[in-house]
Amino acid sequence: RTRLKTMILGRNLYCFQVIDSTNAHLLGLARDGAPEGTVVLSEFQTAGRGRKERRWFSSKGKNLLLSILLRPELEIEYAQKITLASAIILANTIDQYLKNKNLPPVDIRFKWPNDLLVNNRKLSGILAESILQDKKIVALVLGVGINLNEMPEERDPAIRDLAVSLKELTGADIDREDFLCLFLENFEKDYERFERTLYRQVIDEWKQRCNQFGQKVLLETPFGEQEAIVRDINDSGFLVYEDMAGKLHALVTGEIISGHK
Ligand code: BTN
């Protein structure tokens, strides 16, 4: 806490050994009026949440599990872009951390909407949950799970080959406290920059780390699964895809199930 060089982010910090879900807990605090920048950390979650009602598994004390409370005072249209922005900040932090420690770089790729992948395996997942009122965002809780030191044998068998950790990729122990401080400091700086520029640069910066454009994939849409070609991310941060008849659509919620070239 003393090493953290932020003004707002993490100044109000809750640390748990065990909790159900840092997101669930922070949403509760947000409803009770917790200030912007409140952070909840836990060493373990008994009911870690993923997107689409999935679970998030992470063995005790190995990785980072945290949630950040934002109160952006923007219309709901911005929620998606704020979420994409957090993936950018996290990926930049990983690059910077590895560089600072003289470790080999890793090639982080984004999978829409906000998975961080290395060699198609998941390094981190982000879950944004919001409280809305009159078309405005009253609170946005960004939940981040980052696989730092977990090794395959320690991982839940269900995700053993689907996930990957920074230690596995670099062979080095990752200093979780250093990583967290760097992430929160970068987050504070970049969040301010993105907000000041009304998230105009987010889409371009996000696209630079996505190599799914032009790929044929299986998509989960509100109308069921369908084959599609990923074409773009539009100005709102939605996925633009081409269906098999050559027609373009924008996907607001849903996801890319699999990619095959
Ligand atoms: C996903 O990839 O589906 C998103 C995963 C988000 C997991 C993190 S771990 C910390 C925070 N608390 C939760 O319950 N979930 C998020």
Which of 19, 20, 23, 116 most suits a substitution to test ligand 1, by most atoms within 8 Å of the C-beta?
Answer: 23
Q: How far is the CA of 196 from the centre of ligand 1 (A)?
A: 27
Per-residue model confidence (pLDDT) at position 261:
36
| Integer angstrom CA distances of residue 174 from 4, 97, 150, 194 | 17, 9, 10, 28
* Interval 36-45: pLDDT, tens: 999 999 999 9
* Interval 118-156: pLDDT, tens: 999 999 999 999 999 998 999 999 999 999 999 999 999
Q: How far is the CA of 246 from the centre of ligand 1 (A)?
A: 35
Are the CB atoms for 220 and 251 separated by under 8 Å? no
Grade residue 1 by pLDDT with cuts at 50, 70 and 90: low
pLDDT, the chain, mean: 94
From the list 28, 16, 73, 30, the residue with the least C-alpha distance to 195 is 73
Residue 62 is given by DSSP the state: T
Per-residue model confidence (pLDDT) at position 90:
98
Contacts of 236 (CB under 8 A, 6+ apart): 77, 80, 81, 250
Which of 69, 84, 144, 253 most suits a substitution to test ligand 1, by most atoms within 8 Å of the C-beta?
Answer: 144
Residues composing the chain: 261
Residue with the bigger pLDDT between 149 and 199: it is: 149
Q: Which residue(s) pair with 68 in the sheet? A: 39, 142
**For the chain, which domains are there?**
13-206 (3.30.930.10), 212-260 (2.30.30.100)
* Interval 231-259: pLDDT, tens: 999 999 999 999 999 999 999 988 888 76
Q: What interface predicted TM-score (ipTM) does this complex get? A: 0.99
pLDDT of 2 > 70? The answer is: no
Q: How far is the CA of 62 from the centre of ligand 1 (A)?
A: 15
